Structure 1
């Protein structure tokens, strides 16, 4: 009985991993890009930033992670927290860690923080208007 349960759990992990880390976020990102509001765009952009950083860290410390047998389970729980709309973990992580580090770096080096953000959003807004005019 224990071996059968292990096999089932193993199969669920095999399917849940790619679904939770890539397929659902990909779908939600496309939905966010097609929606009118920009709030969900920020959540999914934050997710991809955090997830990319996590993947990079995994590549760098792969030999050490091989010794931690529960790493994959911990990663799935963490990514679930990042992805699920009830938690908006990606936005929380971005605000508390990534954004704060960027602010510190910019103030230390005399850079203007987030200088290009408004220009990019204006560019995207103009493109959405052009697309809307095209389809009307």
Structure 2
């Protein structure tokens, strides 16, 4: 497992992208190998998540920016597998965010919570066979959804019709108010 992560890390450092180009520029200007620069940045981020002010924002950026970037790339590609991978991530991310909102008052008191949350989100987006999003979706989200799908469909249908009715009512009321306003002037 660690060997697989190390190989993936080394492969990433040899890829051609904006991050590796920045690391190569830093390597040229400092003389320090880019693997050490990248490791130092990762160590700094890890320590900041443990002890830094604003760790919540940093953690949420990590959990959003990378997946959003690759989600856009997946949308633009013709392959279906990457779409499924990132849709699965966003479903698990959404379920986690809702659960977190209810328990946030207690979780914020836990030491190193944001470091743990960041590790969890990294596991959910990791490009490995034991990807957290895939595991959690298959074992928790999907069975729950399949068990309650008809009730959820009914609830969504009811909410949609109520929202449509309310939008029509608001539109009619706004039109009446505008018409009355014009008459009164």
Q: TM-score range by the shorter chain?
A: 0.5 to 0.7
1:10 to 25, 48, 60: 48
2:62 to 20, 23, 42: 20
Question: How far did residue 8 of structure 1 move?
Answer: 8.0
Structure 2: tracts of 5 or more residues without a match? 1-42, 154-185
1:100 aligns with 2:138: no
Question: How far did residue 88 of structure 1 move?
Answer: 2.6
- Equivalent residue runs for 1:1-136 within 5 Å: 9-10=47-48, 14=55, 17-86=59-128, 87-106=130-149
Give yes or no for contact 1:43–1:88 (8 Å, CA) kept in 2: no
Measured in 1, the distance between the counterparts of 2:126 and 2:66 equals 10
Question: How far did residue 6 of structure 1 move?
Answer: 8.7
Give yes or no for contact 1:29–1:41 (8 Å, CA) kept in 2: yes
Measured in 1, the distance between the counterparts of 2:136 and 2:125 equals 11
Q: Which has the higher contact order (CA 8 A, sep 6+)?
A: 1
Q: Which runs of 4+ in 1 moved over 3 A?
A: 5-8, 11-16
Question: How far did residue 84 of structure 1 move?
Answer: 1.1
* 24-33 or 54-63, larger mean C-alpha shift: 54-63
Larger Rg: 2
Match of 1:116 in 2: none
Structure 1: tracts of 5 or more residues without a match? 112-136
Measured in 2, the distance between the counterparts of 1:78 and 1:20 equals 11
Tell me the TM-score normalized by structure 1.
0.64
